Chain A
Amino acid sequence: MATNINIFYSNFRLGTNVTIQRRLVEVTVNWTNDTGQSQTRTRTITFPDDLALIPADVLKEELTELMIRMARRIGGVDT
């Protein structure tokens, strides 16, 4: 079991555009709003197109987490 796991990253930057296969999924979100009313929305989420809807700082944080998970797998920390 891996312990003392430390990760360093730097130079977060954009690369050239590549073509990847789209992923689509039907998503229904149900929630209760501040006035206690039930809300629901259903739509098709398209990846990566809908990433454009995510604020840049949130996108960077989430993509960094994803890339760290990739790095851990490539490095053999996670199997």
Chain B
Amino acid sequence: MTYTQRYVGSGGSDANDGSTVALRKLTLQAMENALSAATRYTVNVRQGTYRELLTLGVSGPTAYATGTISVTLGSKTVTGSGTAWLANAELNDWLQVQVLASGTDGVTSAVTATSHTFTSAAGNFQAGHVGYSIRINTIGAYIITAVASATSITIAKPDNSSFLMVAGTGLTYNVGPESPYKVASVDSDTQITLAEAWGAPTFTGLAYQVWGHVEYVGDYTGVIFGDSFGAAPVRITGSDNDQTATRASCITATTKLYRTFTGFALDFTTGGSMLNFGTSCTNIIVSKSTFQAMASANAYMAFSGTGIANSVLGCVFFTGRQQAVLFTNGATVNNVGGLIQNCAVFGFTSVMIDDVRVGGITVRNCVLNGSGGAGNVRVATALAVGQTVTVNNCILANLSTALNATVAGEITEDYNTFFGNGTDRTNTLSGANSKTYAPLFDPRWAFQLMHAQAAAQLISPWDLASFSQLVNLAGILPTATDLRGQAILGAQREWGALEYNSALKITGDTQSWFVSD
């Protein structure tokens, strides 16, 4: 049940079986075609550029969800009750709590107030639920402001405004998701150690999933393949010449489950979604990857259908046309537990995060900066009543419209900062704890460019990649030196502010802010 290691990359051959570095395959698709369904794999991908479309052919093993778990804020230890993890979980699996509380017996009363009591005899509530959004079907989405008991909570609108609650009984409700965590070890049938400490509040008796997966891992550091010259991205591109895009996608899939992609530089596709997870792909996790150069008004990453538990963790999206991440379905779908967190999105033409009829998305701890989109977290087509997109702890700056819903309640925002936007919120209530603080990003990288010695220079977001076709492209009357003061390198002064220098690394010397004498 351990993860079978596979290897693919330059110097390989598709006639190989991919079982060792020496026997690596050459192309991603040949590797995929050799995988068995429902099997745990780690596919290690060598540094280099892959000019191909990868169509996923297999799903990972079915998730295990028997019993319940208890988790503690700041602890890596997960304790199970009624679990049999030794036979059903493995190091490197994902463990996730998708639903922090749910039931079908919720009760509300018709009272006008700034906060309301919501009860459920099922008894799901714990102190840790404070601050989460609760989605109550047919009624609305609210923030849990207090937990009186396991069966009774207090809920309010994000702006703490007074309103007449709709009375209801037998209400279906749902809270969640939380982040997925990698399993570091399965210690016993009732204990798992996570790779990272549980970052959410302490809970007991939660439903969960632990799942094995097929993961593709870009060997950025070069350690796996023994590439000695250092770190380098693993690039998958939709272009064959880096001048025009050729393929619609880098990775595409329909109805695939339990797949993970980590550590890829994805770029330059014609449209139709750079990563296209269609027809209800489920338990897809994409992390620590970059996306750039979308040649048409399409999404970098699209999840279409009714799939659940799809997460985007720690990715960077830039030079996008429309949508860093899109969740879409032809009919309303509830409580999918989609998660976008720790992502940086900048330099977009239009909408950054878009939602078409898909309820239960959480966007948190993201930076969204610079876009003309009419809603950069947007509900483009109405959700079912009671469903919401939750936005917390985000920086929303210099956007045409930051948040845009079709009706108030579809976006539940709080603890976000809004700065320099044309419109901060459309059809979205103002979170009581949100700010209008300027982000004040750290400009030291720019001073490093302008003032540091050559040996201390580092790559900036506006340096051209070695494969950029703007390198050594003849211009007209160029400046003699660049932003760094660097004179021409190669045949031509590059277009843009920075001269391409193959000697530049990604780290310079370390300088901190001056504090005081």
Binding site for B on A (CB under 8 A): 3-10, 34, 36, 57, 61, 64-65, 68, 72
Cβ B422 vs Cβ A5 within 8 A: yes
Cβ B424 vs Cβ A65 within 8 A: no
Known: A4-B436, A5-B424, A34-B270. A10 touches B407 (CB 8 A): yes
A34 to B427, CA, bound (A): 38
Output the least CB separation between A20 and chain B (Å): 24
| A-contacting residues, B412-450, CB 8 Å | 418, 421-428, 430, 436
Known: A10-B407, A34-B270. A5 touches B430 (CB 8 A): no
A9 to B424, CA, bound (A): 14
Inter-chain contacts of B430 with A (CB < 8 A)? 4, 6
A41 to B430, CA, bound (A): 46
Apart from A4-B418, A57-B381, A65-B374, what are 15 other A-B pairs with CB-CB below 8 Å?
Answer: A3-B424, A4-B430, A4-B436, A5-B424, A5-B425, A6-B426, A7-B423, A7-B425, A7-B427, A9-B427, A36-B244, A61-B380, A68-B423, A68-B426, A72-B423
A3 to B421, CA, bound (A): 8
Output the least CB separation between A38 and chain B (Å): 14
Whether, in the assembled complex, B504 has its beta carbon less than 8 Å from a beta carbon of chain A, the answer is: no
Interface footprint category on B: 10 to 19
Known: A8-B426, A8-B427. A3 touches B244 (CB 8 A): no
- The interface residues of chain B, by DSSP majority, are classed as loop
Inter-chain contacts of A68 with B (CB < 8 A)? 423, 426
Cβ B423 vs Cβ A8 within 8 A: no
Cβ A6 vs Cβ B424 within 8 A: yes
A32 to B428, CA, bound (A): 39
Output the least CB separation between B451 and chain A (Å): 32
Cβ proximity bits B63-94 to A, threshold 8 Å, 1 near / 0 not: 00000000000000000000000000000000
The residue of chain B having its C-beta at the shortest distance from the C-beta of A78 within the complex is B422
Whether, in the assembled complex, B408 has its beta carbon less than 8 Å from a beta carbon of chain A, the answer is: yes
Listed A/B pairs (22) with beta-carbon separation below 8 Å: A3-B436, A4-B418, A4-B424, A5-B421, A5-B422, A5-B424, A5-B425, A6-B423, A6-B426, A7-B426, A7-B427, A8-B426, A8-B427, A9-B426, A34-B270, A36-B244, A57-B381, A61-B374, A61-B380, A65-B374, A68-B423, A68-B426
Inter-chain contacts of B428 with A (CB < 8 A)? 6
A61 to B380, CA, bound (A): 9
Inter-chain contacts of A9 with B (CB < 8 A)? 426-427
Output the least CB separation between A39 and chain B (Å): 15
The residue of chain B having its C-beta at the shortest distance from the C-beta of A3 within the complex is B436
Cβ B270 vs Cβ A6 within 8 A: no
Cβ proximity bits B370-413 to A, threshold 8 Å, 1 near / 0 not: 00001000001100000000000000000000000001100000
Cβ B436 vs Cβ A8 within 8 A: no
The residue of chain A having its C-beta at the shortest distance from the C-beta of B421 within the complex is A5
Inter-chain contacts of B418 with A (CB < 8 A)? 4
Inter-chain contacts of A64 with B (CB < 8 A)? 374
The residue of chain A having its C-beta at the shortest distance from the C-beta of B429 within the complex is A6
The residue of chain A having its C-beta at the shortest distance from the C-beta of B400 within the complex is A65
A61 to B379, CA, bound (A): 12
Inter-chain contacts of A7 with B (CB < 8 A)? 423, 425-427
Q: Which of B421, B423, B427 has the most CB of A within 10 A?
A: B423
